[in-house]
Structure 1
Amino acid sequence: MAARKLNKTKVLGVALLAAFAALLLYLFGLFIMVLWLSVRNPGSSAFMDATLAELRLSKPEAELKYQWTPYDGINKSLKRAVVASEDSKFTDHEGVEWEAIRKAWEYNKKQAEKGKSKMRGGSTITQQLAKNLFLSRSRSYWRKGQELILAYMIEFVMSKQRILELYLNVAQWGGNVFGAEAAARHYYGVSAARLSQYQAAQLAAMLPNPVYYESHRKTSYLMSRTRTIQKRMRLVAIP
């Protein structure tokens, strides 16, 4: 009996060591990808690939609108608008805003208790970049854990300027529209460098639900949100 228990303990120990080794290998692989993207521009992202696959289910010839634009080729107004809208403390935090996550969790819990579906996110720009580049749209504690780990990796390896440059280039701005350059040309017929303050603020306002706002840009909420972001733009710092 004692020998049997000892064997079970050994088997459990070996299994735990194997699982730990697999986790370390997985994290190392993620870190290598983050290092790569600190110096190389992505041709696509996990979100782009998933969106294209989904679009091609009903339209096999579907393509994404996407064009990489360097940081200096994007108007400062858009940089300020996105930071003001999505993450006002972007230049100060280390990748994760735990207080924002706590407030979002409390708000969402109250919404669920009331039977309401409107939820609030507490993710920083860095977390959103991690999700867009590497992860799926699924919602789970495991995916959130991956997002947090990746956010810290990204902040450790990349400058704030590089993080914002990547985010502005892979963010979704419509059903098949990704990145600031494609968004500027799709909605306003100008390059990302020539966006006006209002246009930049409107693009930032669209980020939480870009597919919906692609065809609902005249809603009273979006117009009000755009004006609010415009007022906040001068109050935030950008890298």
Structure 2
Amino acid sequence: MRSWNKLKTIWNIIKKIFYTGLLFVLINIIILALFIFINPASSAFQNSNNEDYLEKLISMKPYQQKWVSISEISYNAPLAVIASEDQRFFDHWGIDVEQVEKALKENERRKRKRGASTISMQVAKNMFLWNDKNLIRKGVEAYYTVLMETIWSKKRIIEVYLNIAEMGKDLYGIESAARTYFKKSAIKLGAGEAALIASSLPNPKKRNAGRPSGYMQGRKGSITKQMNFIGGKEFIMKELY
């Protein structure tokens, strides 16, 4: 009898864990489905990244961000970030296994570790997660990435990325970056300007696209070459516009 009661208790615990997990997944599916149609007002990364967030919130200007749809963004912007950050963006399902394997091999003999984060992974991290690099966070990031790739189109993923990515100190999104650095809207960005913004990633607080260093100018040249290499305007227009 005691053994039976113990088994029953264990089974009830397993059922509770299962149904709790199922509920968690369903809630996330609903949230991601809503974000197909609703633009997020802010991201977890934005709120956690502002050290003096409360002070800025009181002043009614916590950060600069203006949401624009993909149709209001020059094709040069997605082309530049894809060329710079994730050239297999349209081919993988959120996690680029090939790049992960390469990074693991290279990191065995390098002091400075190379990442293999895709654009989709960056969106998942920025939207939902805390700013950390431990294995638990990475596991949750992978979960959100795969779920997001299942529910959203690639077009929606790159649109959200271009609107929530940090592109300067307290500066988020391609529209704010274009207006701050080049005094123009995102739809008017040229190839070189888009490449300069992309060259500031993933460290836009130290790399200012409005006052580019020699390193950034070099990166700009490399990115513009890669923009042409992956197919240029014809490639990105076919995929997104």
Sort the TM-score into its range (normalised by shorter chain).
Answer: 0.7 to 0.9
Residue number in structure 1 paired with 2:21: 23
1:55 to 36, 39, 52: 52
SS in 2 for 1:173: strand
How has the CA–CA distance of structure 1 residues 213 and 141 changed in structure 2, closer, same or farther, with 3 Å as cutoff? same
Amino acid corresponding to residue 227 of structure 1 in structure 2: G
Matches within 5 A, 1:147-166: 147-166=141-160
Q: In angstroms, what is the RMSD of aligned CA positions?
A: 2.1
With normalisation by structure 2, the TM-score equals: 0.87
SS in 2 for 1:211: coil
Q: Does the CA-based 8 Å contact 1:174-1:211 persist in structure 2?
A: yes
Q: CA deviation at 1:9?
A: 3.7
Query: Percent of pairs identical after alignment?
Result: 36
Q: Does the CA-based 8 Å contact 2:47-2:53 persist in structure 1?
A: no
Q: Does the CA-based 8 Å contact 1:175-1:214 persist in structure 2?
A: no
Deviations along 1:58-107, one digit per CA (max 9) or x if unpaired, are 76635210000110111111111011011111112222211212222333
CA distance in 2 between partners of 1:48 and 1:178 (Å): 8
CA distance in 2 between partners of 1:26 and 1:181 (Å): 34
Residue number in structure 2 paired with 1:201: 195
Matches within 5 A, 1:2-151: 3-52=1-50, 54-56=51-53, 61=59, 63-111=62-110, 116=111, 118-151=112-145
Amino acid corresponding to residue 218 of structure 1 in structure 2: P
How has the CA–CA distance of structure 1 residues 192 and 31 changed in structure 2, closer, same or farther, with 3 Å as cutoff? same
Q: CA deviation at 1:215?
A: 8.2
2:175 to 178, 181, 206: 181
Q: Does the CA-based 8 Å contact 2:175-2:186 persist in structure 1?
A: yes
Q: CA deviation at 1:119?
A: 2.5
Q: Does the CA-based 8 Å contact 1:80-1:234 persist in structure 2?
A: no
How has the CA–CA distance of structure 1 residues 103 and 49 changed in structure 2, closer, same or farther, with 3 Å as cutoff? same
Residue number in structure 2 paired with 1:225: 219
SS in 2 for 1:144: helix
How has the CA–CA distance of structure 1 residues 90 and 44 changed in structure 2, closer, same or farther, with 3 Å as cutoff? same
SS in 1 for 2:109: helix
Residue number in structure 2 paired with 1:170: 164
SS in 2 for 1:11: helix
Q: CA deviation at 1:212?
A: 1.4
**Residue segments in structure 2 that go unaligned for 5+ positions in a row:** none
Deviations along 1:21-72, one digit per CA (max 9) or x if unpaired, are 22221111111111011111111111112124x2336766352100001101
